[in-house]
């Protein structure tokens, strides 16, 4: 059985320079972004302390990408909602939820591109934006179910939390499952459509 490839070790020095030990060269955050896009795995260690700082360096790369004109991926409402989860009782569920969501998007992206190209002769963003909007609504409703009651009383809850159903948690989870199944069926139907139908 093939062994998984070892990640490249990047060392970050006090002068903020990044050193790729695999190529014995200094690299930039842009170089690391290119490595990520190419599927190359790496870990970043603080050269002085040996601490794993990969998460903060990846966050820095995202920050730089978000600041490029026309490159932003993260909607302001998403960022605000994400900030609200820091220190909240739901914080421990967010990373896993985001991992599952992004894994699903990655698995489905090629299928979605092919389906849209087949259906529309191009890759329009309207249907994709609609799908993302629906996913965000599901995300917000899911977390609204677990919002502490005091957040609603003090007016700290977001608009989706204020309008979330007051039914039992089990009923809401079942409803969410049904909605996700409906979405999958719609995606499957879109994939089975032939152009011109």
Number of CB atoms found within 10 A of residue 6's CB: 10
**Residue 138, token pair as written in the block:** 């599901």
- Together in a domain, 141 and 81: yes
Which residue range(s) make up the domain with 188?
76-192
Please tell me the predicted confidence (pLDDT) of residue 134: 76
At CA 153, angle to CA 147 and CA 154, rounded to 5?
Answer: 95
Residue 117 lies in a domain: yes
How sure is the predictor about 104, in pLDDT bands with cuts at 50, 70 and 90? confident
**Residue 12, token pair as written in the block:** 């970050």
Q: Of 46, 67, 88, at which residue does a domain stop?
A: 67
Q: Of 49, 67, 85, at which residue does a domain stop?
A: 67
- Together in a domain, 86 and 115: yes
Please write the tens of the pLDDT for every residue from 115-166: 777 776 655 556 666 677 777 777 777 766 666 555 544 444 444 444 444 4
- Together in a domain, 51 and 81: no
- Together in a domain, 95 and 29: no
Beta partners for residue 88, in sequence order: none
- Together in a domain, 46 and 136: no
- Together in a domain, 25 and 80: no
Please write the tens of the pLDDT for every residue from 52-93: 999 999 999 999 988 887 778 888 898 898 898 888 888 888
Q: Of 67, 92, 115, at which residue does a domain stop?
A: 67
- Together in a domain, 57 and 126: no
- Together in a domain, 145 and 175: yes
Residue 3 lies in a domain: no
Most distant pair of Cα atoms in the chain: their distance: 63
Residue 1 lies in a domain: no
């Amino acid at each position: 059985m093939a062994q998984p490839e070892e990640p490249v070790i990047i060392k970050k020095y006090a002068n903020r320079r990044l050193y790729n030990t695999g190529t014995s060269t200094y690299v930039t955050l842009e170089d690391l972004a290119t490595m990520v896009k190419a599927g190359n795995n790496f870990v970043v260690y603080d050269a002085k302390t040996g601490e794993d700082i990969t998460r903060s360096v990846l966050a820095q790369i995202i920050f730089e990408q978000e600041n490029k004109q026309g490159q932003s991926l993260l909607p302001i409402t998403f960022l605000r909602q994400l900030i609200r989860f820091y220190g909240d009782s739901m914080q421990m569920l967010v990373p896993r939820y985001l991992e599952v969501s992004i894994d699903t998007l990655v698995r489905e992206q090629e299928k979605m591109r092919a389906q849209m190209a087949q259906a529309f002769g191009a890759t329009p963003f309207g249907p994709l934006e609609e799908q993302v909007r629906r996913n965000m609504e599901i995300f917000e409703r899911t977390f609204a179910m677990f919002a502490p009651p005091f957040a609603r009383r003090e007016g700290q809850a977001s608009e989706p939390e204020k309008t979330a159903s007051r039914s039992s948690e089990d009923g809401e989870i079942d409803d969410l499952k049904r909605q996700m199944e409906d979405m999958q069926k719609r995606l499957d139907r879109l994939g089975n459509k032939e152009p011109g139908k």
